[in-house]
Copies of this chain bind each other. A is one copy, B any other.
Amino acid sequence: MPAKQVLIVEDERPIREMIAFGLKRAGFEVREAEDCRAARAALADTRPDLVLVDWMLPDMSGLELTRALKRDRETRELPIILLTARAEESDKVAGLEGGADDYVTKPFSPRELLARINAVLRRSTPTGVDELIEFEGLVLDQGSHRVMVGPRTVGLGPTEYRMLEFFMTHPERVYTRDQLLDRIWGGNVYVEERTIDVHIRRLRKALEEFGYDRFVQTVRGSGYRFSARTV
């Protein structure tokens, strides 16, 4: 079982680091964000397995962030735990109604926090990257998000590399060529949409060499999808 990744959204640095320390010791991989903007940026990059959100944040309340994440299809499944101060506890109902999966009142013991996290993770369905990693021979180094195919990376150019990386972190979902350009080539580059097809082809070819066929699927009229399902 690869390490679970937790994103901590908390503005007060000491608290944040304390939590991070505790989680790392418990075997979690930790990412940190000091406000909602940073959190969104982090989420756009990589999807963690769980998000810890402080109730009070400088730019947007944790509740609002929760609500926003639960509203977005992209992040709806993401388990969220709210951190609230005792005084704010009366708002816990609002917190849960906002879509949070659980809440923990400060001050809390590391043991309690861990218990909550594990409980929420157990509840949430793990059909995603992890499954992919374990199920298939492809190795996804969760830390640096480096994708390795077989003993050496062969036949994959940097672009196909990024493409595979993106697909592995966003499986089971169809992306239009437009979206792929956005998320793999990044922002404002002018590239023909059909170019995607060519890179898809190259990626497929490279994967085939290792017996990984049918992972990149075409959804006619829409785009492409990366799937571990045997179809």
What is the interface of chain A, defined by CB distance below 8 A to chain B?
Answer: 67, 70-71, 73, 94, 97-99, 123-124, 126, 129-130, 132-134, 136, 151-152, 157-158, 161, 173-174, 176, 217, 219-223, 225, 229, 231
Contacts and interface: CB of A to CB of B under 8 A. Distances in A.
A158 B220 contact: yes
A231 B229 CA distance: 29
A134 B219 contact: no
Instruction: Determine chain A's interface SS by DSSP, over half rule.
Output: mixed
A231 B97 contact: no
Copies of this subunit: 2
Contact of A129 (B67, B158, B222): B222
A219 B220 CA distance: 32
B94 A152 contact: no
A129 to B, nearest CB: 5
Given A129-B223, A174-B132, A222-B129, A217 B73 contact: no
B73 A151 contact: no
A162 B73 CA distance: 19
A73 B220 CA distance: 31
A193 to B, nearest CB: 13
10 contacts: A73-B126, A129-B222, A129-B223, A133-B173, A133-B174, A151-B231, A152-B219, A152-B225, A158-B222, A161-B221
